[in-house]
Structure formats: C-alpha cells, structure tokens
Amino acid sequence: MSMSPINYEEDPLKHYVRVNAWLPLCRRRKNALTGRRLRYFTFCAVNAVDVYMLEIARVIRRSSADKFDTVFFFDKTPEDVDNILDRIPGAVGFAGNFVDVVLAGDLGDEPDPLEPPADLENTEATRQRQRLAQTRRSFIESFPFDVINLDLEEFIFKQRDPFPGRVINALRNVFQWQRRALKPGHAASRLDGFTLMFTTQAGPPVLTPEYASMLADNITSNLQADATLTGLLQARAGTNDVTVLRNAHTLGAFFEIGVPKVLLGILHENDWYVDPERGIRVFRFTRPSNDGPYDILHFTMDVCRQEPSIENRAPGSAATAVALAAYIEVARGLVGAGPIVVTDDMAVLAELRPTLEQIRSRQRRLVGDL
C-alpha cells in the first residue's frame, strides 16, 4: 500500500524545529548586528516558509522597496527559482544542484563567462559547464551570510561518492567563503561569527567502511583525549564502545555525535569554531516511508572566527587556544546531552508562533494567492 507524500512545508514536526530551533538562533544573530540587515542563505522551497517566519519575527527585514534582497537561496531549476521569487520578490536565487555548483571548477577569466572558451568546442556540454561556473561565481560573490540554513533532508554520506564525500567537500568551500569580506577589500568587514543550521537524514543504514571509520575515529579520538567523555557516553548510550554504537540498528547516537564532530572538524579547518556557550543542539524526529521509518537530524550552532585569524597567524600554526578549549567543551556537551526528540504530540500541543496559518496569511497579504 502506498503512503501519501509528506507535505514537508506544513509538517508540524518540521515546524516545531523551525520555531524552537531555528528562530531563536536567528533572532540572536540578528540582535548582534549593528547598522545593517541580516543576510540569510536557505533552501527555502517554493513557499519560503522559513523566510516568512523570520520576516514575521522581524529577523529578516525587507528593503525600503519591499524587497527580500538579503535572502539568498538555491533550487533545482530556473523555473523553480522563478516560482520562489514570485513569493519573496527581490531575493537572490541560484538554479542548479547545490553541491554540483559549489564543487564546479572555474573556467578561467573569460570576457563573457557565458561564451564558450576558445579552446573548448561549442557544445551543449560546454555551455552547461559555463552556466555552472557562472552560477558558482555569482554564489561566491554573495558571501558571507549571517545565517546559513543547509536543510538537505538527504544523506550527508552517499554510497557512491568518493571519500570523504561531495557534501563534505562542498561544506569546506562554503566555510572558506564565509571568510570573505562583506565589502571587497575591507578586511574590517569580515564576519566574526555566523549561525549554522544543518539538516540531514540519519543514514544510510549501511555505511561504506571509509565513512563508518571516519565517524568512529572522530568519536574514538575524543574519548582518548578526554577521559570524562567515556562516562558521559556510557550514561547516554548505555555503552562507551564505539564499535557497539557503530553496529547499532538505529545508528542513533553514532550519527548524532559523529556527524556534528565532522562539522566541527571542517569548521576548524577553515578557521572557525563553535561557540561553547550553547554548543551544538540536536533535534530528531521520525518520518514514515514505504521503506520503513527514517530519522531526520537537525543540528544548530553559533560559529565564531578564530582570533587571531589565520591571515594573522604564522604558517603552520595550530588552532588558537580558545578554539581548542571550545572544541573540548562542545564535544563534552555533544556526547553528554542526548537529542531533543520531537514527537507528534509535542508538535501538536506546542504553541508554535508564528503559526503556519499566520505565515500563509502573511504571504497572501504580500503577494496574493499564487
């Protein structure tokens, strides 16, 4: 028997995460800004529910011309992008597969990036490559963002991807580009922090040996470096044996700890660290499917720039003492605290404001019925 497709935008479980996880972080980031509006990157989907939620909460402010010109988003096709722009006019949309675009190689400094290079045959494949490179250039020029909402809702690790995975390498680029200045040539306009929300499906259930070892080694290295983590993991998961976690049927704690540890590593590579004051919060809920239930994991964190920055440290210098201390504290919180498991009852009983109806009503007032 087939199941009705889930309306992700109106799913009460997802809206619980929007209101209780995303909104507080975005509001805090907005309140820390002085003299400018918040810059927000998202995979907002056609009805832009997260954008309207933040606009109602006055986290995102439209321009004097009523444009959402500090909102940036990706969707798969130019038609998809146009449909979203009908709902959030003035936003900046990029068409294409996010990972493909981020990992696309530049073709060099051509006078017109949409014209085929002289040394390449003028074919559809060449033109597609040119369009991809141009989208990538435009995307890079949009950095940095105050809030990055990478709502993948798919596997971060894919069986056929070359290790360490295309998503991982895309994140490396994104966090590097976050070090760009808001105003080109003005070093003082570089961000000292940003907010990161990352969503992935837990899995796949059967990881390749390389991916499984990467997650396991991250957890094991922390256990070996910090003796307090052994007891914390035992209390949380009923075992401090990483092999047992790795082989567990649900892979719950293995992913809930392992994936954000990978994120921590990528951030450190690119001169960032997670603010230990709030650490990394993990939200989890379960969705049904024809192949059986699966878990969605949401990770939220405030990210800080290392000081002095890598541009002002000697080559080969390790991460700063503050960043290393923060790493240890965040790891302890990650291992010791379990996820917030969102259930249908929680989502139905909670006062989720703005409500989905308020969001729909706001959209109708601004752009009418589409």
Domain ranges of the chain: 8-367
pLDDT at 3: 44
Residue 120 Ramachandran class (φ > 0 left, ψ -120 to 50 alpha, else beta): beta
* Separation CA 358–CA 88 (nearest Å): 16
Question: How many CB atoms within 10 Å of residue 105?
Answer: 9
User: Residue 111 in contact with residue 130, Cβ under 8 Å?
Assistant: no
For residue 283, what are its two tokens? 């939200």
Does the pLDDT at position 267 exceed 90?
Answer: yes
Average pLDDT of the chain, as a whole number = 89
pLDDT at 260: 94
H or E segment and range at residue 147: strand 147-155
Q: Which residue, 235, 201, 221, is CA-closest to 338? A: 235
Those residues whose C-beta lies under 8 Å from the C-beta of residue 223, and which sit 6 or more positions away, are 229, 230, 233, 240, 242
Rounded to two decimals, what is the model's pTM?
0.92
State how far Cα 310 lies from the chain centre. 23
Does the pLDDT at position 113 exceed 70?
Answer: no
* Separation CA 170–CA 339 (nearest Å): 26
Q: By three-state DSSP, how is residue 86 classified? A: helix
H or E segment and range at residue 287: strand 281-287
User: Residue 192 in contact with residue 322, Cβ under 8 Å?
Assistant: no
153-198 confidence digits (pLDDT tens): 789 998 888 899 999 999 999 999 999 999 877 777 899 999 999 9
DSSP state of 319: P
For residue 311, what are its two tokens? 């541009």
